[in-house]
Amino acid sequence: MSFFLSGTVAEVEDVTPRIRRIRIAGDSLRDLRWTPGQHVRVRVGTLTLRTYSIWDYAGHLDLCVLDHPGAGPGARWAREVEVGGRVSFTRPDGRFVVRDDAPYHLFVGDATASVAFGAMLRALPTDARVYGVVEAADRLTLPRELTWTDDLLGTLAALDLPDEPGVAYLAGEAKACQAARRHLVQDRGWPRRSAVVKPFWTPGKRGMD
């Protein structure tokens, strides 16, 4: 069995000035097992893979890829991809998913995190308590209301949360994730196990650009 699945680009849409939605369709995507929050690894060059959270799955796969200054091969691939192009990718994987036993859910991250957040928020029951802070100039339309900001940690520190810990999903730039967890643990007294951390990128690190 091949490690990779393959599909064809069915749609390409710029959903914000810097975020491109890429829809991949094909026979290999039928009945794909997926838990919201998981990712796939896409072959963006002959020997180059990049990891992308799944925005949505409904018999086809929707990815949202952020373009930015100094972007690496993944962003260049998304910028140049066209309808009809072939794409190779791995099956969905990852443990960055919502916890059913959370008293409430806290989402903290940047534009790259908002892709996974969208899928995770859609998976929550309508009566689930949700809080969140997202630092991003490009704003995806999310199914629940979160706080958009240009000061992630400052806004998180000022966020009015219940007295008891919930479960936090911290994603995006690696150092920002670490700082957000440190605030929750040291300043708010949360157990470390209550913070689920998924660093998506870090400046200058190959494979996380």
What pTM value is reported for the model?
0.94
69 phi, psi to nearest 5 deg = -60, 135
Cβ of 129: how many Cβ atoms within 10 Å? 13
**44 burial level (CB within 10 Å; 0-12, 13-18, 19+):** buried
Cβ atoms of residues 66 and 11 within 8 Å: no
* SS3 call for 151: coil
Tens of pLDDT, residue by residue over 79-102, are: 999 999 999 999 999 999 999 999
* Token couple for 50: 């990049």
Cβ atoms of residues 175 and 204 within 8 Å: no
Q: Identify the residue with better confidence: 1 or 197.
A: 197
Task: State the DSSP code for 184.
Answer: I
Tens of pLDDT, residue by residue over 170-195, are: 999 999 999 999 999 999 999 999 99
Q: Domains in the chain, ordered, with CATH?
A: 4-90 (2.40.30.10), 105-201 (3.40.50.80)
